[in-house]
A and B are shown apart, each in its own frame.
Chain A
Amino acid sequence: MPAKESQKICMDCKDADAILHTRHRHYCGACFKRFLSHKVAMRMSKFKQMKKSNGKAPKLLLPLSLGISSSVLLQIINEDIGRQFAKTFVNVGFEVHVLVVDAQGGANDDVYDAVSKAFSRLSFTKLPLHSVFEYVSEMGEIIAEYANQNFVDQEQATNEDRLTAFRTTISSPTSRSDLDSVLLTRLVVEYAKSLNCEAVIWGDSDTRLAAKTLASVAKGRGASLTWSVSDGMSPWGVNFDFPLRDLSKPELEQYLSVCEELSGLVVPDAPISEDVLTKNLSIDDLMMRYVRTQGEKYRGVMANVSRTANKLQSTIGSDDPSCPLCGGLVGNVKGNSGVTVANQSSDNYSAKFCYGCMRSRPESSIK
């Protein structure tokens, strides 16, 4: 009954009217924001402890997509830093640098300018995705070997043209989005290393992590889950961390709805079109849709997916060869005696690149 609904008061402060609802609790805007901030603070506390133990504040890189999740993470961290600065003894605990990777040719430049102005306490960098050729100097050779014979990497061309040429050789939406995220990860990692960052803090919600887990499994990248959705060491010597892993996308959307500081600073998600045939979706999109629709009814089950993946044992530190493109393991994880890899293909590529990358390879086909 709507009349009854409007009389609800916040279950935390027992004062203001409750306007938001999550996890069977009703909150006012301020208490809701505090609840989410607390969840993030719990995840961030390990960095503060690190400072306590060795006296040096760790450097963190926050890749900002300007979308909802990473913007909320930025806001929560910025607020925390602000609170620390207001104290007599300032103890921030970590140093945050923000990186925006532009994959769309400057489409969101105005938002970037506004964000970097609004969060003036933090340092910002913007890099185009094609600068991956600069930061990963051997990338030209890697993709030349990886792509099919019709593709020749023109080293004298601009990086932008090189990237475009490479992307046009890939025909399926799944492979394109797969390789885009591989390149993005490589760029973020190399940039983090150039700044001597200890960790990259990704703004993935648990909804996104669940979708990413299922999509990775479906793309044959199960072995990479130990770093692509889990907290811990990545293959490149930089830690990956996911401070929003306890929060769902709908919760972050609610946060945004009551957060004045972020108004006008977030690029909204592209609306999900209902008309696209399933077969034309990318696997990443399909999984995101699946997790969101199932998450409405089974929030806990979906959140559990990424938690399960987070329990897998990392293979980082083993001497097994890794894929020059995505950093994943080449061949099977030790102890896996399956013959999927042997069934895969007769060409010699599979000896160099990992299973998942071979699947996204232009014109790849399986035997």
Chain B
Amino acid sequence: MAPTACFNCKEARAVIIRPKNRHKLCRACFLQVFETEVHETIIGTNLFYPGERVAIGASGGKDSTVLAAVLKTLNERYNYGLDLCLLSIDEGIRGYRDDSLETVKRNAVQYDMPLEILGYGELYGWTMDQVVAQIGKKGNCTYCGVFRRQALDRGAAKLGIKHVVTGHNADDVAETVMMNLLRADLPRLSRGTSIVTASGASDIKRSKPLKYAYEKEIVLYAHHRQLDYFSTECIYSPEAFRGSARTLIKDLEKIRPSSILDIVKSGEDMAALVPSDGSQHSTQCSSAAAAAEDDVGGCGSQNGRTSGGEMAAMEKELAQNESAESRETEIRLPNRGQSSLGYQSKSVKKQTLGHCERCGYISSQRICKACTLLDGLNRNRPKTAIEVSVSAEDEETSSTLMRQMERTQLTNS
């Protein structure tokens, strides 16, 4: 079979079939097209301003490595004037994180960017290995996700940087849209797709420049630029099962390759259609809460998966609501401001935003998710010599205290 010429330049031999639209491209054209699309996304959404300091949330995996490589290339090609650096979180998972951190360290040299590594142990007093030892392999992704969310913000604050970019790709965003639809989560549906989740409260802006890039193309890009990335999945992840949404999206991609992008488009439109109570204040809050709570699902490319337990629990709750309904008597207010056919005006519950009473991080609850989780962990932790001095009545403050103490311990050693 004669080699096919590249769809773009019509000269070189095509070596790639683009997953997005099945165009056959040569290597140079593919890299060019991929970079240009990311550039268009950045320009189209006014993501950066000249001279901005930007931290790239780097895990050593394919998404963040490609993000770092592309941003560096584009920054030089189009003179964005960005001051880029890498920010890594060490969850403390031996056999996974220490290897991938080596990758990040090499990346820092390859791309000539400064690197900051922040550990869970140092921030929370718990490494992920210790968390797993305590609670087992089931459900530990929640801890990891919640902790990482705050860790990135704290890391950025430490570096004095106000903008963190993450490697979320189109597949991740599409998955989140389907997920939120399945779990009927309108507030998250209204913000999960936006490229920037600015948070008024912590003034650290989050964005995902790769949100229109296909996961498969990211892999191809990394391969053809021979990028140095770490491809082993988190060793704790095989335990958690990939959510319904993920399987569904993989099937959809087989039927119509464009559907990942189509879901992103639908998600963006639906986000604008989620009813709000109209006040400017509430919309600001919801986007800030997004920054605080978006990543509850878990980690990196697996963001958005759900365990079977979650779905079954929701099913149970819905069934109970329904059976309770038949025992209720509904009392309606007289119709007001309704159309002639009685279609009701629509409203949804909104989250209101405040600060965590413990750590000051933005949260829609009194105590933020991370502190709640830490409480649970610390309650069951075997008493250490340090904690003996803390009386039972002081349990409320013990977690913070302990965190501080361990930090002292760490700095000492």
Contacts and interface: CB of A to CB of B under 8 A. Distances in A.
Interface of A: 23-24, 46-47, 49-50, 53-54, 172, 174, 198-199, 213-214, 216-223, 225-226, 231-233, 239, 278-279, 281-283, 286, 290, 294, 297-301, 303-305, 307-309, 311-313, 315, 329, 332-343, 355-356, 359, 365-367
B251 A286 contact: yes
Q: Which 6 A-B pairs have the closest CB atoms?
A: A222-B266, A300-B318, A220-B262, A338-B268, A335-B272, A339-B44
B181 interface: yes
Contact of B184 (A172, A231, A307, A356): A307
B261 A174 contact: no
B262 A23 contact: no
A92 to B, nearest CB: 17
Interface string B176-214: 011001111010010001110000000000000000100
Contacts of B231: none
Interface core residue of B40, B262, B268, B274 (most chain A CB under 10 Å): B262
Nearest to B267: A222
A355 B265 contact: yes
Given A218-B266, A304-B184, A174 B40 contact: no
Interface stretch (B54-62, B297-305, B307-315): B307-315
Nearest to B33: A367
A300 B268 contact: no
A294 B181 CA distance: 14
A220 B341 contact: no
23 contacts: A24-B323, A174-B255, A217-B177, A217-B262, A217-B267, A219-B262, A220-B262, A222-B270, A223-B270, A223-B273, A225-B270, A279-B255, A283-B259, A298-B312, A299-B319, A300-B318, A308-B181, A332-B269, A336-B268, A336-B272, A340-B212, A343-B261, A359-B262
Interface residues of B, number: 60
A174 B181 CA distance: 21
A313 B275 CA distance: 6
Given A282-B255, A311-B186, A313-B274, A342 B343 contact: no
Interface core residue of B189, B265, B273 (most chain A CB under 10 Å): B265
B314 to A, nearest CB: 6
B190 to A, nearest CB: 10
Contacts of B269: 222-223, 329, 332-333, 336
A53 B255 contact: no
Given A311-B275, A335-B272, 17 more contacts: A50-B340, A213-B181, A217-B266, A220-B258, A222-B265, A223-B266, A226-B273, A283-B255, A283-B256, A297-B312, A304-B183, A304-B318, A307-B184, A338-B265, A342-B40, A355-B262, A359-B258
B76 interface: no
Contacts of B45: 337, 339
Nearest to A225: B270
Contact of A301 (B252, B263, B315, B348): B315
A49 B339 CA distance: 12
Nearest to B344: A231
Give the dominant DSSP class at A's interface: helix
Interface string B112-128: 00000000000000000
Interface in B247-302: 248, 251-252, 254-256, 258-259, 261-275
Interface core residue of B22, B255, B348 (most chain A CB under 10 Å): B255
A307 B343 CA distance: 14
Interface in B227-257: 244, 248, 251-252, 254-256
Contacts of A279: 254-255
A300 B181 contact: no
A199 B341 contact: yes
A196 B123 CA distance: 68
A312 B341 contact: no
Nearest to B7: A365
A23 B263 contact: no
Nearest to A302: B182
B341 A343 contact: no
B358 interface: no
B95 interface: no
Contacts of A366: 20-21, 258, 261
B259 A218 contact: yes
Contacts of A307: 184
Contacts of B255: 174, 278-279, 281-283, 286
A198 B183 CA distance: 34
A50 B338 CA distance: 12
B252 A283 contact: yes
B178 A217 contact: yes
A333 B183 CA distance: 23
B186 to A, nearest CB: 6
B3 interface: no
A47 B339 CA distance: 12
Contacts of A54: 340
Given A290-B248, A333-B269, A218 B315 contact: no
A312 B267 contact: no
B381 interface: no
B346 interface: yes
A336 B271 CA distance: 7
A298 B259 contact: no
B405 to A, nearest CB: 44
